[in-house]
Amino acid sequence: MGPDPDFPFLDENQRFDFPPPEKAKHHSVVAWGGNLSPGMLLSAYEQGLFPWYGEGDPIIWHCPDPRFVIFPEKLHVSKSMRKVLRQGIFSIKFNNDFPGVIASCSQAKRPGQEGTWINHDIIEAYTELHRLGFVHSAEAYLDGELAGGCYGVLIGKIFFGESMFSLKPNASKAAFISFAQMLFEKSVCLIDCQQHTPHLESLGAVDISRKEFLRLLKEFNHEPH
């Protein structure tokens, strides 16, 4: 099913009020339906939600409890990764090849998952948000070839990580760590990793309650910049 063709298109200046995540009966699902227009996606992230749905489903809007996040002081760079970064094994760039990153993320095989949630509609929607300046990517190159990367949505002082991929060992970690360090240097207060994975836990992500996440979302994006 995917996006509802009858739902109004919202541009980047328009907003939609989702049901309060705090009142969700499910530990993650808050709402379903709508579309992936810029205003709809920005509304979701500003309210702590993100889209995640399978083929044949309507768009499902999630706000997990607990939420998996990285704080600046919690970012963990192992000795082996410090060596990789110090030696400059990968050439790291930002926003250099977003189409290549999201396409590679959509093709990445993930344990326990059949197919991908990064379908054509998702790619089209996030490519438009990238064009508008809200979605950013980090790329790791090896011998001039894209070897790994990640992308996500940056709103105010929070970066909402969406996906990453790696074609060479440590490539996605090199891209993510370099990007995270840059974001934290530029006063980003929180990286949202959405849900637990061992890979992100190794980088310093921790669980916090949905209530705490929503409080921080409001606090960080309403204080003076």
**Tokens representing residue 199 in the block:** 């890979």
167 in any annotated domain: yes
- Domain assignment of residue 195, yes or no: yes
Q: What is the pLDDT along the chain (225 residues), one digit of tens a residue?
A: 899 999 999 999 999 999 999 988 788 999 999 999 999 999 999 999 999 998 889 999 999 999 999 999 999 999 999 999 999 999 999 999 999 999 999 998 755 555 578 999 999 999 999 999 999 999 999 999 999 999 999 999 999 999 999 999 999 999 999 999 999 999 999 999 999 999 999 999 999 999 999 999 999 986 443
- Angstrom distance (rounded) from CA 219 to CA 204: 22
Q: What's the confidence (pLDDT) of residue 111?
A: 56
Q: Is residue 5 part of a domain?
A: no
What does the pLDDT read at residue 157? 97
- Does a structural domain hold residue 123? yes
Side-by-side strand order, sheet with 158-166: 91-94, 135-142, 145-155, 158-166, 190-194, 67-70, 206-208
The answer to whether residue 116 is domain-embedded is yes
pLDDT at 53: 95
* pTM reported for the whole predicted model: 0.94
Here the CATH number for the domain that contains residue 133 is: 3.40.630.70
pLDDT at position 7 is 98
Which residue, 65, 75, 28, is CA-closest to 215? Answer: 65
pLDDT of 113 reads 52
pLDDT at 56: 87
Q: What is the per-residue pLDDT for 225?
A: 38
What total number of domains does the chain contain? 1
β-bridge partners, 155: 158
Instruction: Supply the range of the domain harboring residue 208.
Output: 68-220
Are the C-beta atoms of residues 164 and 176 closer than 8 Å to each other? yes
Residue 27, pLDDT score: 83
Does residue 165 sit within a domain? Answer: yes
Residue type present at position 132: L
Instruction: Output the pLDDT for position 112.
Output: 53
Residue 50 included in any domain: no
Residue 197 lies in a domain: yes
